[in-house]
Copies of this chain bind each other. A is one copy, B any other.
């Protein structure tokens, strides 16, 4: 790249960042689309955003399909708006190839908030991306962070590992379950028991809600530390998001967790480091994956190794070790 075009890129980047800071939704949407499709030319913008970012509180919400996450988030949005907070929502669906579906869902939700400039809802799918959704979600969150929202909500559909990784971008994590999710041990993934700051049993009017609540209390009891009276023990709350009941208590818990975080900065720094450690490892792996898939020399070596494995002349472990050694 010539010096001139480097200056041009720098200029274009700064203009984009200014537009984001002015809150231009179309610019944000376009950037997120580029991130979603794996366009690596956004790296220079993201690098600049990172230097200035990290200022907006990120609330993570997850749970199994059908738990009523979106309804709960919409109820929370209403409350945040009541308090005058401007909120962006990133809804991540790791596996949906149905952009139509996601957009339809967004439209329905956007209609509800369409007259409201203080709300921005954006879906993100994983179509075309090879792994690394947590990385892509982190990039999209950086774009939203640069826009000066008072709060960012990241909502993930599903209960897999990539969703757990996405939650590592959040300051406060809300896990939504229903009595129908089955027994707590089976339905709440281990990782979620560890990363959840607040647990919500939604659809609390259906049978088994109390049992689910006490199961979750038991399952999260390991988080209590007798030697550390100031540690955060996740509350387990019941809601009926459809009727708006129990929402106030969730808001209170979110506020309490934010207060806890701000009054225990050393503890928070520790958690942030642990979260970022996983995310940086994901970045590293994402990049390794891209290089293997996209670089022709790597690719050729890889396909030859694949031939050996398929012919059973070499096992996958040995093949992987040889490939990695060859690239070092």
Contact surface of A with B, Cβ cutoff 8 Å? 43, 46-47, 49-54, 64-66, 94-98, 101, 127, 131, 135, 138, 157-163, 180-182, 185-187, 189-193, 272-273, 276-277, 279-281, 283-289, 291-293, 302, 305-306, 309-310, 312-321, 323-324, 327-328
Contact = CB atoms under 8 A, between A and B. Distances in A.
A41 to B, nearest CB: 12
Which has the most chain B C-beta neighbours within 10 Å: A54, A95, A159?
A: A95
A284 B292 contact: yes
B158 A189 contact: yes
A306 B277 contact: yes
A315 B276 contact: no
B190 A98 contact: yes
Given A95-B189, A96-B185, A280-B309, 12 more contacts: A46-B315, A51-B313, A64-B65, A95-B161, A101-B185, A127-B190, A157-B186, A159-B159, A160-B160, A161-B162, A280-B305, A284-B292
B97 A65 contact: no
Contacts of A181: 65-66
Contacts of A138: 316
The majority secondary structure among interface residues of chain A is helix
B50 A316 contact: yes
Which has the most chain B C-beta neighbours within 10 Å: A49, A281, A316?
A: A316
Nearest to A325: B287
Contacts of A185: 96, 98, 101
Nearest to A316: B283
20 contacts: A46-B317, A50-B309, A52-B312, A64-B64, A65-B182, A66-B180, A94-B160, A95-B161, A95-B189, A96-B185, A157-B186, A159-B160, A160-B161, A160-B162, A273-B310, A276-B310, A277-B306, A280-B309, A283-B316, A284-B288
